[in-house]
Amino acid sequence: MKKILFAVLAAMALPLFAQQSHVNIQFDPQRNTENIRPYSTSVISPEVHDDNTVTFRINAPKAQEVLLTGSMFVGNDSRRRVPFEKKENGLWELTIGPLKPEIYFYYFIIDGVQNIDPNNTFTGHAAMPSFSILFVHGDEPTWYDPKPEVPHGSITTHYYYSSVTNALRDMMVYTPANYNPKKKYPVLYLMGGSGDLTETWVMHGRANFILDNVIAEGKAKEMIVVFPNDQMVTRSHPQHTELAFPLVERELIECVIPYVESKYSVIKDKHARALSGLSMGGRMSQYVALRNLDVFGSMGLLSSAIEVSETPALNDPDINDKIDYMFIGGGTYETGFMARHERLHETLEEMGVEHQFYVGGGGAHDLVTWRHLLYYEFLPNLWRTNYKWK
């Protein structure tokens, strides 16, 4: 009887995996349900409480000062550095919040040196130093979270030889849950920003889960999404822009699109191709799409823009007939009269160039903003207007 009771209790406990267990894909992986330290760590950090406050900890007995900074601080608090309190036995601790449920990036600054949280097993990387990831959960999965009841698409990594760089490169491709090779799909080419990698949009942006949810909700068309590597020249290069932008144009036109269209069942028509990106990737999207209006019918510029003088096609009196959909968006705390995307919006209004302009999300120049723009505005409106391939 005791054995049976133990088995029942153990079975009941199984769904409680959390606190960075990495057993299941969860919307609340840093909620402390077991009070067990992550494997090979010394303390629990971060610990996300149900009131949305967060406690950070680190053992640093010889440190003189420990500070916290991250993307949870926006607006007047931007670049804020919050001091920890030193406890007994060299433990430093800090509780902040409550925070709005979101996914944030953060760092510890220990005696002036920026560090990741050594006790957090959720760490991001790109073509720049690593960062720690904080998941502040709500009461249930939200629009950027994996939902068990929603059909999930697939992510495939492809390696291909680039005739532009004369080397091996990679791309990732999202196919929707009900992908059928007998059906033909529109394709969105979605790029990251400065220092981002091919997997940034999936690993940190949760673009695949956003696509799963927005398609399942009937708010967006089924589509294939390609995540190309838009790093063509190291971002630290003094001539990055003038070298990288023409190269990414060639890479997309000569290598990426032909490869995708040889492997997937896609609509080979400009009206079924869109190019978008965040930050640098958005500037590249504007540059490439407006120079190749016979290839791309739609574009999305997320927190980005280049001068109209760099894209002469915008001066074409027939430009509105050549663009199906142009989206320009930015975050709540990064938009103002000096923001590139707002200046471009105002210029296009003066020129009479049709486009959608949107600001929102409660974030700054970060994935809090870009996830929001993707789910709430860009994906639902893409392929809705000028749906010309049917």
For residues 50 and 33, the answer to whether their CB atoms sit within 8 Å is: no
CATH code for the domain of 28: 2.60.40.10
What average pLDDT does the structure give for the chain? 91
Together in a domain, 210 and 336: yes
- 9: confidence class by pLDDT, cuts 50, 70, 90: very low
Residue 146 included in any domain:
no
Together in a domain, 162 and 118: no
Together in a domain, 104 and 192: no
Together in a domain, 118 and 221: no
Percent of the chain with pLDDT over 70: 94
Point out the domain boundary residue: 136, 170, 195: 136
Residue 386 included in any domain:
no
User: What pLDDT does 16 receive?
Assistant: 57
Q: Within 10 A of 102 (CB to CB), how many other CB atoms are there?
A: 23
Together in a domain, 89 and 206: no
Together in a domain, 199 and 313: yes
- DSSP code of 16? G
List the one residue out of 319, 309, 305, 241 whose CA is nearest residue 277: 305
- Give the separation between CA 334 and CA 328, rounded to whole angstroms: 13
pLDDT at 58 over 60: yes
Residue 222 included in any domain:
yes
Tokens of 171: 């791309």
Together in a domain, 313 and 213: yes
Please tell me the pTM assigned to this model.
0.92
User: What pLDDT does 194 receive?
Assistant: 87
Residue 297 included in any domain:
yes
pLDDT at 316 over 50: yes
Residue 11 included in any domain:
no
- DSSP code of 31? B
Residue 125 included in any domain:
yes
H or E element: which one contains 278? strand 273-278
* Per-residue pLDDT reduced to its tens digit, 161-195: 999 999 999 999 999 999 999 999 999 999 999 88
- Give the separation between CA 233 and CA 247, rounded to whole angstroms: 9
CATH code for the domain of 262: 3.40.50.1820
- DSSP code of 38? P
- Angstrom CA distances, 199 to 125, 155, 266, 374, stand at 10, 10, 22, 16
What is the residue range of 242's domain? 154-381
Point out the domain boundary residue: 109, 136, 163: 136
Count: domains in the chain: 2
